[in-house]
Structure 1
């Protein structure tokens, strides 16, 4: 398991796996490179939680992150035990070229409340809430859902960390741009951030600040830290929330709005941005930066525009020409979707992708 130094492992029971070598691996709460300790600022950290039938979708997301990113990436993959071997088999075949490594983690919740958290929304969904507590040595992290596709370098969303003011600890996009079709402002039975709430499918975190912050809340006049506030929030609102951990984050940032940086919808572009007509203006102007195929749209025929992008990235072979093997076949497929509302604006799906490919080849030509 240590034949590839890009691989590291974490064990929730603080035991060294018997087949992990002692020469190149070491352990604290996680096994990682010495390089990670001596050059922490040179890596971008990306986390994902995968359960059930999400293996292929997660791998496709990771592929999209690798294709365009510039700085080295470290993937933190939280997955059910039965998925670990499959992840290792697939990821070990990726041509990392020295810029990617990963850590596999089991799905774990606080033992005294594990059953409660597992029942929240989906079996593994609330795992993300505990990332600041599990990844104690990671300063900043980009969490994404499995159904995310990067159409430009991860470096670009990572750069938002440098735009945080002194009070901001995390960044997310609004749940809706158009209040008339918003979910939170029409149906929520709990507090939520802003006018239409926030979507947590793409969440950039300064986890050092998260761990240090004391949060205002509506349960006690005393401010609570991240690890103290999660269970009381769940107990108070569990009968009033629909979208699980996302709802809890909305409640938290409703009471602490100064702590959130809001980025535009093109960084978390979902079917709601086009199925009733285009309503993400920044995507119309500059293209989609991060595609979020929620509602399972990558795997059915309801939104063929989203599915076409997913299939194109899934089927792309590393090293092939991106124009001929990815962009041109994708554009041909997108042109077949103009009978749908999203298909009518299909050019926003390739506008940034085209630029990302051009920029990548320009960087390569400069050596």
Structure 2
């Protein structure tokens, strides 16, 4: 009888030991790669530094109290398109041309959110107020000063690739009143209804938090698959110049909790700044990303060597991305031609005579370039809109 307590104790110890072994094996089975585990393990310390990723505080110097105080436009989220852009340095004029293109091609209620250097804010307000008057208040706007986590090196983040472009990485915790938005780089132009991009939110599944276009269509000219020294999404990576962001889902995912540790881990290996950070995150979480066709982020790479964007060939370019300064140089004449036509167009005037015809005439002068040989794809969406207006 004395042996019974010993047997019982031995049995209990065996059960506990087996439980520990099974638990360990199950955890090990689902582990991420080693380098990523290190990043994730840093999250709690980083979150402590920035007062929790979902409660990020803005420094008094960048207080949101200085924002444009239009009535909040987000009461009816389903019926508004929210467009966000970050503009610093010499990007004022380029950004305004982009916003103008969005106003032209949007029939829904449009909300424009601008993050900018403080010195540029008065210029943005002046021009946007003028356009609101011209267009009978067809859009509303908010202007935010650029801000970064208070305990991070703000100047280091500002200088990451394009001036202030990394601000976009922190939108989920700054714009807590916004459910979803379309972020675009300053060097983009809408050539068709903004609604066509926005509708891809409806095509995303319940786990996807963002939408992007591929960085390349052809592996022979791909950058990430040939030169990247860090993880990236899929086979060719993604381009972050036109990005649908479901901020509500990104907050639930704790997006910002990944951003800072990943930057610290890979900052000596990244080339394209915030775009590389986005690629790294979606490399480890590919199920969180929705991919839309290249016509929604059409760049010189799609036509400078050969015509590789099938969706643009079939339906026309929806969003033109003048990457690498192609809007302002003659190296890619069609991109410069379209930007020139959009820059010269005055809101409220005749679309056919003052936008479409100049754009077509400027494009006809570029027929000898590779991209100029497919110039019809740049005006295809514009033509459809003008035909509807005429009807």
Determine the structure 1 residue equivalent to 2:6: none
Q: Does 1:102 align with 2:141?
A: yes
Contact kept in structure 2, 1:11 and 1:105, CA below 8 Å: no
Of 354, 367, 380, 1:338 maps to 367
Q: CA deviation at 1:205?
A: 0.9
Larger Rg: 2
Q: CA deviation at 1:123?
A: 2.9
Contact kept in structure 1, 2:64 and 2:144, CA below 8 Å: no
Contact kept in structure 2, 1:193 and 1:257, CA below 8 Å: yes
Normalising by the residue count of structure 2, what TM-score does the alignment of the two structures yield?
A: 0.81
The 3-state SS of whatever aligns with 1:353 is helix
Of 60, 71, 77, 1:33 maps to 71
Determine the structure 2 residue equivalent to 1:232: 261
The 3-state SS of whatever aligns with 2:146 is coil
Determine the structure 1 residue equivalent to 2:227: 187
Give RMSD over aligned pairs: 1.7
Q: CA deviation at 1:327?
A: 1.2
Q: Does 1:76 align with 2:113?
A: yes
Contact kept in structure 2, 1:44 and 1:158, CA below 8 Å: yes
Gaps of 5+ in 1: 1-9, 18-26, 214-224, 363-367
The 3-state SS of whatever aligns with 1:93 is helix
The 3-state SS of whatever aligns with 1:149 is strand
Determine the structure 2 residue equivalent to 1:125: 165
Q: Deviations over 1:207-239 (max 9, x none)?
A: 1011002xxxxxxxxxxx212111110110000
Determine the structure 2 residue equivalent to 1:354: 383
Of 244, 267, 291, 2:273 maps to 244
Determine the structure 1 residue equivalent to 2:99: 62
Of 157, 173, 192, 2:197 maps to 157
Whole-angstrom CA distance in 2 between matches of 1:37 and 1:284:
36
Normalising by the residue count of structure 1, what TM-score does the alignment of the two structures yield?
A: 0.86
Whole-angstrom CA distance in 1 between matches of 2:386 and 2:136:
18
Q: Does 1:278 align with 2:307?
A: yes
Whole-angstrom CA distance in 2 between matches of 1:15 and 1:266:
35
Whole-angstrom CA distance in 1 between matches of 2:383 and 2:232:
36
Pick the structure with more helix per residue: 2
Q: CA deviation at 1:13?
A: 4.8
Q: Identify if the C-alpha distance between structure 1 residues 140 and 15 changes in structure 2 by more than 3 Å, giving closer, same or farther.
A: closer
Q: Identify if the C-alpha distance between structure 1 residues 344 and 37 changes in structure 2 by more than 3 Å, giving closer, same or farther.
A: closer
Determine the structure 2 residue equivalent to 1:116: 156
Gaps of 5+ in 2: 1-58
Whole-angstrom CA distance in 1 between matches of 2:61 and 2:139:
23
